[in-house]
Amino acid sequence: MDNLKIYLTFPYGQDEITDDPSSDVTTIQQRLSDWERRFDMICRNEPVDDMDRALAMYIQRNDDLELSPFVDMISGMKEDTVQNRTISNMTELDEYAYQVAGTVGLMLLPLLKANVEQSRDAAIALGKAIQLINILRDASPDVALGRVYLPQDMLKAEGVSTEDVLQLKSSPEYRKVVAAVADHAEALLIEAEMGKSTLPGVGPLFVQIIVELYREYLIKLEQIGYDNLNLSGERVKINTIQKLMASFKATTKVLSQQ
C-alpha cells in the first residue's frame, strides 16, 4: 500500500523528474519517455518491478479508476521540459495545475474508497489549489530554472515583463498579479473544503488538514505583501508552529461539523 501511494505521484516524482537542476532537457525528456513506456506496459499488465506491479493491481481492482489522469499528468510534465517555460493566461495555468496536481486527486479517490463521481470536482479543486500555491511559494526557485508560471497576460497588463521576473524584480505591479493568483487559489481551497464531506472515513479530516496547511502559505504571502521573489532564491516558508496550528484548526473544524 505504501508503495502504491508513492507510485501514484509517479516513480521518480514530478519534482525529481522536471525540477532537477543537474539534469539537462534531453535527460528529463528521456525519463518521461521511459515512464510512458512503463505505464503502457502496466496497462497491458506487464509490470517490470514491484512498484509497477502495485499500480497494475490497483488499476485492475478499481473499475472506476480513470487512466486519463495519468496521461494528463505526463502531458503537464512534458510542458515543463520546455526551456524558458511560461504560461499564457489563467485558463492555461488552471489546465497545467490540473495536469500536474488535480490528476493526483483523481488517482487517489479509489484508494480512499470514495465515490469518484461525487468527489471528483472537489479532488481536482484541491489538487489545483495545491499546485497554484506551490507556484507562488516556489517563485524564486522556479526563476532559477528559467520558469515563470504567473499568467503572461496578467503580467503584461500590469507592465511587468518576463525578464523583470527572471531578474527577481518584485514591483507593486508584480505583487498585484501574485495576489490575484492567490485569491484564485483560495477560491479553489474553499471549493475543496465544501466538497470534503463526499469522502468516507477520515477523508474529510485529511482534506481539511491540507486546506488549512496550504491556507497558511496564503496567509504568509499576504503578510509579506505578496513579495515572493528574493535574491537568495529561497521559497516562501511557514514554520512548524504554523503547521501544527493548521492541523489543530482542521481537527476543530471537522469535529464541530459532525
Residue-wise pLDDT tens for the chain (258 aa)? 344 444 444 443 444 555 555 556 777 778 888 888 888 898 888 988 888 888 888 888 887 778 888 889 888 888 888 778 899 999 999 999 999 999 998 988 888 889 989 999 999 999 999 999 999 999 999 999 899 999 999 999 999 999 999 999 999 999 999 999 999 999 999 999 999 999 999 999 999 999 999 999 999 999 999 999 987 889 999 999 999 999 999 999 999 987
Residues 55 and 87 in one domain: no
Residues 52 and 152 in one domain: no
Residues 30 and 77 in one domain: no
Provide the grid cell at 13.
516524482
What total number of domains does the chain contain? Answer: 2
- pLDDT of 88 reads 97
Provide the grid cell at 131.
499546485
Provide the grid cell at 194.
465544501
Of the residues 61, 87, 102, the one at which a domain ends: 61
Residues 95 and 196 in one domain: yes
CATH code: domain of residue 132 = 1.10.600.10
**Helices 203-223 + 240-256 axis angle, to 10:** 130
Structural domain of 199 = 67-256
- pLDDT of 56 reads 87
Q: Coil, strand, or helix at residue 150?
A: strand
Cβ atoms of 198 and 122 closer than 8 Å: yes
